[in-house]
Structure 1
Amino acid sequence: MTVPTSSTGAALAARRAAAVAAGVTSLLPGHFATGAEPGVLIDQDGARLIDLGAGIGVTTVGNAAPAVVEAVRRQAAEFTHACFMINPYEGYVAVCEQLNALTPGAHEKRSALFNSGAEAVENAVKIARHATGRPAVAVFDHAYHGRTNLTLALTAKNMPYKHRFGPFAGEVYRAPTSYPLRDPAGLTGPDAARRAIAHLDAQVGATNLAAVLIEPIQGEGGYIVPAPGFLPALADWCRANGIAFIADEVQTGFCRTGSWFACDHEGVTPDLVATAKGIAGGLPLAGVTGRADLMDAVHPGGLGGTFGGNPLACAAALATIDTMRAERLAEAADRIGATIAARLGPLVAEHPALAEVRGRGAMVGLEFVGPDGAPAPEVARRVAARCHRAGVIVLTCGTYGNVIRLVPPLVIPADVLDEGLRVLADAIRSC
């Protein structure tokens, strides 16, 4: 289908331009969301947009999921805010209990709640520094961890995130990651880990590191799945040297990769886990969960925030987790990933510009390259634009902007997914 532009959309776009800061962009500026169905957004003219982006991996259980809507309605009728640092409430405690139970590892854990992924990552770093008494934090090439000053220091990509926003927080050091498509031939996951460890040992020193922070599958950096053995080797080195291993599961968590958390795939148990995005059915909520000794090392009053763990968001999170269990959404993610691989994987052999279809579960990246293997962001942009014109929402990502990421709601109907993938496959062939 071709999505029309309308006078209503144009009028709304004009109001937006007059009221919203220019630095806040929109991928589809003429299509204002007014409603949703499973796997579909509806704009101001009633046009249906197949949603393969889920609000950047947020609406995992669907947009306006009935259980989430009802839970928020009930909570709103009781009270909408009672700062947990003043008056505690059961919803906050219940979400922390769920996080402690669901995140990897059977050890004793504690959790704290915040508003966004960047807040979660920043607080995880704070906790690691406080608990270890060390200053340095290691991150990786292609990493994305947020847009606050500290998380921009942790993030690798300059445009549009870091450009002219510095100076950034110090004591942040970057190491090479495992990027199988672009690593030297034959470099295994443990080899890549040894490369990173040697880099950090030489340039920082293990005894100065409070934390190693990594996305188990890199998100904005290009949906990069590290080679098997990379994460376990890093985690082992951290454990041997008293370094907190922090998993940024903001985008990978909550069934997205076919398991509750991406670390589960290789049996990695992080010391601290940062979560957000899919946790609360579209409401702003984030968490840090970790070893009780690390979390409890922070002095009373050292963690918190006015809105962290808001009652409405907590109610939404509990309903979201219940929905994930009841609808077996980790298994749904695997089915979605298998469908995407079956439909798009064969195009790699047909079209040299498509170098790889990679991912886990319903977190899939398509990397585009030129004849010399160099990143081809212009091809990714053309493919994405063609999809948008046909009413299919896809997102680009990658350090070089040459990757299309597919991160659909896990409740997307099979026929809707099939139609979206047909449009995307046609776009790849035509571009």
Structure 2
Amino acid sequence: MKFLLHPSQTVALAFLMAILFGTALLMLPLAQTDGVSAPWLTAFFTAVSAVCVTGLVIVDTGTYWSSFGQIVIMALFQIGGFGMMTAATLLGLMVNRSLRLRTKLISQVETHTLGLGDVGSVARLVFTVTLLAELLIAALLTLRLHLAYDLPWHEALWSGIFHAVSAFNNAGFSIHPDSLMRYATDALVLLPVMLAIVVGGIGFPVLHDLRAKRHDPRHWSLHTKLTLLATGILLLGGFLVLLLFEWANPATLGPMNLPDKLLSAAFASVSARTAGFNSIDIGAMTHESWALHYFLMFVGGGSAGTAGGVKVGTVAILALLVIAEIRGRSDSEAFGRRVSLSAQRQAITVLVLGSAMVVLGTISILIHTDLPTDKVIFEVISAFGTVGLSTGITAELPPFGQLVLTVLMFTGRVGIITLAASLALGERRMPFRYPEEHPIVG
């Protein structure tokens, strides 16, 4: 009897193999600047963070790892971002058409806008988008770094490529010890990075929908409309709240002039949703800003993209459910469409399990450390949301705490997507229904 893995199991196994392979490469003496083998936990943590496009690190990427090590890390988060975009898109197609994947996938999304003949078609389209976006951003960054900062062409090119690939894949890795704080007032560096973060994190189905029907938004799918609306609200809301809380903070936005404050607040709002770069000191932010980051990091970006979190689509569906309940309506509706009950149940499941992971991760680390609770919570949500922002305690955590973060990164990156797909693909109609009752709520 032939044993067939569930598609979601195949995705998880593929990412696990990439992590183990990356760990082995990073343990080679060639990967370390000192020419000695890196400790297994350092290599493993870095590989998990790279493949899961998170960006949390326990050693400085630019000084600890050699050129070979940095290339390996970049390759890992490129594989992680590209692989997840492709896998999530394919799983999404399977969900939308209730098909089983064997050797080919012949399917379209519910609006028939995504006519993809097979697995190779999806991969080629994702590859094209990824390559063009990364090349454009890399070119812009390279020119800016050479012309404005007098970096030699080879250094400017490497920095431009590394940060462009990291930004598009929402990986958050930087070869600078201060991330992008040295460019906090340079719009020609931060704006291209922000563009790459948004394009990579919005999700491939949305990008395809925008390209295919850019002249007629009325024909966009409900998923695209919800994702764009929720993303806009989160970006604008995060920007305004960060301005409010950090405006007079002498360690962040306080000393800056108005244009620089606006730029840094906008960059922080974009990056907080899963990119992991920072142009101001995260550890010096107010506790109110940390609380905002908890929410933004937990939500994340769009489905089938390089972003992490429980996804904006999930939160949008839950918001529609709450609005419908408040208005006394039995259906959740938006843009003239009704959200299916199965999608609502899946959104609730993802949110509850994601919250449970954050709570369990926080408790597990607090048992083994005396670090402040708010900083531990920040670190846990950053790991689960595959964000990569840190208040600076990652390297201070005990080995057990760092291993907990690796589990959270893997689960947050691979688990949420495969869980959602498994729930949808495993849905089946029961031949009977029990009598209905209404338990007391609240």
TM-score normalised over the length of structure 1: 0.32
Q: Which of the pair has the greater relative contact order for Cα pairs under 8 Å at 6+ separation?
A: 1
Structure in which a larger fraction of residues adopt helix: 2
Structure in which a larger fraction of residues adopt strand: 1
TM-score normalised over the length of structure 2: 0.31
